[in-house]
């Protein structure tokens, strides 16, 4: 059985982008029955642990999930899901050993911008892999937003598009931004500071735990502080925006304003 339990960064919003990867990049879905079975286990764990599921995609050797856990530890949810599918997979194909990589990958989703871009990135995976367009792929939550929902809590996301599916579709057609988001996600893997480490660095500079106070400062003072924080080695602009509770655009504008004044 897969050893899925792990230490992970806790999301303040309780929303996580979870990536379940196969061991040695082997295929974990050989036919449609396999994918239907995984979705069945996904539905079972959703009913058992009562979490919100905003997006998913099943690829040949990995799975993306966008989850908001309400009660249970995210590790418990993913361990249950992975173990159920691994038992099925090993029995069907008469094999033993791990199916999934021993530790799942999760990323905290702390802002609306990051939430929507993550959802779009998940749905874009079939297109990125050269399989087909998102709308033509049967094994992602994209069609649940467009047609009929089954596993997905679509109302939460569609609310941000004024419950207009046309706006949702238009957002997904913006591939350029989606590719930029993919690059950002890949950079997270390589970034030296995780959010907990970055928060400690921000505390050192601000000498305070009240990060939201920066929003009440006058523009000049705010820009100077943001500029100083942006100089922290290995801290990302999106990461800094999440920690301060501001938009990424405000971070870039503050840096630009500060540089123009000096």
Across all residues in the chain, what is the average pLDDT? 83
State the DSSP string of the chain. --------PPPSS-EEEEEEEBGGG--S--SHHHHHHHHHHHHHHHHHHT-EEEEEEE-SSEEEEEEE-SSS-HHHHHHHHHHHHHHHHHHHTT--S-SB-SS-EEEE--SHHHHHHHHHHHHHHHHHTTS--GGG-TTBTHHHHHT--SS--HHHHHHTTTT-HHHHHHHHT-HHHHHHHHHHHHHHHH-S--HHHHHHHHHHHHTSS-GGGGGGS-HHHHHHHHHHHHTSTT--HHHHHHHHTS-HHHHHHHHHHHHHH-
* Residue 120 near residue 178, CB atoms below 8 Å: yes
Q: Give helix 74-92 / helix 32-49 axis angle, nearest 10°.
A: 150
- The reply to whether the predicted model has a pTM over 0.85 is no
Pick the residue with more confidence: 119 or 178? 119
At 139, the pLDDT band (50, 70, 90 cuts) reads very high
The predicted pLDDT at position 59 comes to 94
Give the integer Cα–Cα distance in Å for 226 and 221. 9
Q: Give ranges for CATH 3.30.70.1290 in the chain.
A: 15-190
Residue 181 above 60 pLDDT? no
The predicted pLDDT at position 38 comes to 97
Q: What is the pLDDT of residues 59-116, one digit of tens each?
A: 999 999 999 988 778 889 999 999 999 999 999 999 888 888 766 778 888 888 888 8
Q: What is the pLDDT of residues 11-62, one digit of tens each?
A: 677 899 999 988 877 899 999 999 999 999 999 999 999 899 999 999 999 9
Q: What is the pLDDT of residues 210-245, one digit of tens each?
A: 887 887 888 888 888 888 888 888 787 888 888 888
* Residue 171 near residue 59, CB atoms below 8 Å: no
At 185, the pLDDT band (50, 70, 90 cuts) reads low
- Among the CATH numbers 3.30.70.1290, 3.40.640.10, 3.40.50.300, 3.40.30.20, which is that of 15-190? 3.30.70.1290
The predicted pLDDT at position 80 comes to 93
Neighbours of 198 (CB within 10 A): 21
* Residue 146 near residue 173, CB atoms below 8 Å: no
The predicted pLDDT at position 42 comes to 96
Instruction: Tell me which residue has tokens 């982008």.
Output: 17
């Amino acid at each position: 059985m897969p050893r899925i339990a792990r230490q992970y960064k806790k999301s303040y919003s309780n929303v996580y982008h979870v990536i379940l990867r196969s061991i040695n990049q082997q295929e974990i879905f050989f036919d449609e029955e396999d994918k239907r079975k995984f979705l069945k286990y996904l539905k079972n764990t959703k009913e058992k642990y009562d979490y919100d599921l905003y997006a998913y995609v099943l690829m040949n050797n990995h799975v993306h999930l966008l989850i908001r856990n309400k009660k249970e530890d995210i590790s418990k949810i993913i361990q249950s899901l992975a173990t159920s599918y691994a038992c099925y997979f090993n029995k069907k194909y008469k094999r033993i050993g791990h199916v999934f990589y021993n530790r799942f990958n999760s990323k905290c989703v702390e802002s609306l911008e990051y939430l929507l871009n993550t959802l779009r990135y998940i749905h874009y995976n079939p297109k990125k892999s050269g399989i087909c367009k998102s709308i033509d792929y049967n094994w992602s939550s994209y069609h649940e937003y467009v047609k009929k929902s089954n596993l997905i809590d679509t109302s939460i996301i569609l609310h941000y598009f004024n419950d207009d599916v046309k706006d949702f579709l238009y957002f997904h057609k913006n591939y350029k931004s989606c590719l930029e988001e993919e690059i950002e996600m890949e950079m997270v893997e390589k970034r030296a500071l995780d959010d907990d480490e970055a928060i400690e660095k921000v505390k050192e500079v601000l000498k305070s735990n009240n990060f939201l106070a920066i929003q009440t400062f006058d523009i000049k003072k705010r820009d100077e502080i943001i500029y100083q924080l942006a100089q922290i080695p290995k801290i990302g602009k999106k990461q800094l925006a999440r920690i301060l509770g501001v938009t990424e655009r405000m971070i870039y504008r503050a840096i630009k304003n500060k540089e123009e004044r000096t």
